[in-house]
């Protein structure tokens, strides 16, 4: 068995204009002070990371990694969640998702898609330059507006949607394959890849591409009421990244999984700071360790109640306490004996 790395922290929810959250060095120093050993970097935030420069300059990447190393921090993965979302957007969501795009492609569906695909290819090269093996992203969605089967979906609609999604992602997956990096899709409501069934559909149309893998985040499965422990048993070979995020689901007489268009604090399903929700992380860490996952345990903080700085401080300690050091021997080794063919035959009665 192998040991999970960590604790690490996804920086996206903490980056802002004021110090220490507005530069890579300062935010790494802050993370290290809390006990984090790794950082997952949002590639769309120029205050922390220059994706274009990282893709073309090994020197820049070495300097960035060196800055982190001086603080005893490692870069766990790069993230293109926002750019990945824009690889596939149904027109109904064009205006809402334009905020993820640079000004020069806003309002232009085709140009924005091309830009997003190129961003992912840059992330593949940047990850290679940093010596990383996994990358965090979203799949985007062409079918999300049909998530509930009413009105009845026309025959072949789902198949066509996934074929188009694969058409857009195959060149990206191939670029990551050339870079030696796994693409880890965060299975997330709002994405066409949001559970095991949709991930399998995607694998089918991508010819089971070896680089199409999973960022496991149990919080999204709590909100969908999916068995997040059985999910590990089924898909552990494809789990290459891990967001440690808590959640709770408290259905009531007014709303359930769909949430009734309510704000996060009023929804039955809501994200919580680590330890404040319902997720069984002891079992999660046990299963991932059992199956040999040796990637990073990355805190993603999203909570509608607790302050983020408290969530980060508590989260570092929470992850550290849940990481399991695998045993290097069996508990009953002390009664073991060497193989003895004659003795075994006697025991078997042969």
- Mapped onto helix, strand or coil, the DSSP state of residue 185 is strand
Query: By residue range, what is the domain housing residue 74?
Result: 5-348
Task: List Cβ neighbours of 118 (8 Å cut-off, separation of 6 or more).
Answer: none
Query: How would you classify the pairing of strands 296-299 and 239-244?
Result: parallel
The tokens of 150 are what?
A: 């009413």
Q: Are 106 and 98 in contact (CB under 8 A)?
A: yes
> Could you tell me the pTM of the whole model?
0.96
CATH of the domain at 144: 3.20.20.150
**Mean predicted confidence (pLDDT) in 249-267:** 97
**Mean predicted confidence (pLDDT) in 145-149:** 97
Report the alpha-carbon distance of residue 134 to residue 139 in Å, rounded.
Answer: 15
| Number of folded domains that form the chain | 1
**Mean predicted confidence (pLDDT) in 116-127:** 98
Is the pLDDT reported for residue 350 higher than 70? yes
Q: Mean pLDDT of all residues in the chain?
A: 97
The tokens of 194 are what?
A: 């949001």
Report the alpha-carbon distance of residue 132 to residue 140 in Å, rounded.
Answer: 23
Q: Provide the sign of the torsion angle of the four alpha carbons 152, 158, 159, 161, taken in this order.
A: positive
The tokens of 5 are what?
A: 């790395």
The tokens of 35 are what?
A: 């006990």
pLDDT score at 339: 85
| Region class of 4: left (phi > 0), else alpha (psi between -120 and 50), else beta | beta
CB-count exposure of residue 218 (10 Å: 0-12, 13-18, 19+): buried
Task: List Cβ neighbours of 249 (8 Å cut-off, separation of 6 or more).
Answer: 222, 223, 225, 257, 268, 269, 278
Q: Provide the sign of the torsion angle of the four alpha carbons 325, 299, 12, 82, taken in this order.
A: positive
pLDDT score at 338: 82
Report the alpha-carbon distance of residue 71 to residue 9 in Å, rounded.
Answer: 15
List the single range of 5-9, 28-32, 45-49, 336-340 with lowest mean pLDDT: 336-340
Is the pLDDT reported for residue 331 higher than 80? no
**Mean predicted confidence (pLDDT) in 68-84:** 98
DSSP conformation class of 163: H
Q: Provide the sign of the torsion angle of the four alpha carbons 341, 346, 348, 350, taken in this order.
A: positive
pLDDT score at 335: 66
pLDDT score at 337: 72
The model's pLDDT over 237-256, given as tens digits with 9 standing for 90+, comes to 999 999 999 999 999 999 99
Task: List Cβ neighbours of 341 (8 Å cut-off, separation of 6 or more).
Answer: none
Is the pLDDT reported for residue 178 higher than 90? yes
The model's pLDDT over 201-237, given as tens digits with 9 standing for 90+, comes to 999 999 999 999 999 999 999 999 999 999 999 999 9
Q: Are 41 and 75 in contact (CB under 8 A)?
A: yes
Q: Is the peptide bond before 342 cis (omega within 30 degrees of 0)?
A: no
The tokens of 180 are what?
A: 């030696």
Q: Provide the sign of the torsion angle of the four alpha carbons 126, 132, 133, 135, taken in this order.
A: negative
Report the alpha-carbon distance of residue 4 to residue 297 in Å, rounded.
Answer: 7
* The residue to which tokens 């996934």 are assigned: 162
**Mean predicted confidence (pLDDT) in 75-101:** 97
Is the pLDDT reported for residue 334 higher than 70? no
Q: Are 39 and 29 in contact (CB under 8 A)?
A: no
Compute and round to an integer the Cα radius of gyration of the chain: 22
Is the pLDDT reported for residue 130 higher than 70? yes
């Amino acid at each position: 068995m192998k040991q999970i790395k960590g604790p690490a922290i996804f920086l996206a929810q903490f980056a802002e204009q004021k110090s220490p959250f507005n530069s890579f060095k300062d935010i790494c120093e802050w993370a290290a002070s809390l006990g984090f050993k790794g950082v997952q970097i949002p590639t769309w935030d120029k205050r922390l990371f220059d994706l274009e420069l990282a893709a073309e300059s090994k020197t820049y990447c070495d300097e960035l990694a060196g800055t982190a190393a001086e603080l005893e921090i490692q870069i766990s993965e790069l993230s293109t969640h926002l750019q990945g979302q824009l690889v596939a957007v149904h027109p109904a969501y064009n205006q809402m998702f334009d905020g993820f795009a640079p000004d020069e492609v806003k309002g232009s569906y085709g140009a924005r898609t091309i830009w997003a695909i190129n961003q992912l290819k840059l992330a593949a090269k940047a990850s290679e330059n940093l010596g990383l093996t996994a990358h965090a992203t979203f799949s985007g969605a062409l079918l999300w507006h049909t998530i509930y089967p009413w009105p009845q979906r026309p025959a072949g609609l789902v198949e066509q949607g996934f074929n188009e999604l694969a058409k857009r992602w195959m060149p990206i997956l191939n670029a990551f394959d050339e870079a030696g990096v796994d693409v880890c899709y965060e299975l997330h409501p709002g994405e066409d890849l949001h559970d095991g069934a949709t991930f399998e559909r995607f694998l089918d149309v991508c010819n089971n591409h070896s680089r199409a893998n999973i960022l496991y985040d149990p919080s999204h499965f709590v909100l969908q009421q999916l068995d997040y422990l059985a999910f590990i048993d089924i898909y552990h070979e494809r789990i290459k990244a891990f967001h440690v995020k808590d959640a709770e689901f408290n259905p009531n007489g007014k709303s359930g999984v769909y949430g009734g268009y309510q704000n996060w604090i009023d929804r039955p399903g809501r994200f919580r700071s680590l330890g404040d929700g319902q997720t069984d992380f002891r079992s999660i860490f046990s299963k991932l360790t059992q199956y040999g996952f040796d990637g990073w345990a990355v805190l993603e903080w999203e909570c509608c109640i607790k302050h983020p700085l408290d969530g980060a401080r508590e989260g570092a300690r929470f992850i550290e306490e849940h990481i399991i050091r695998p045993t290097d021997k069996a508990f009953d080794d002390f009664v073991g004996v060497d193989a003895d063919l004659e003795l075994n035959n006697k025991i078997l009665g042969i």
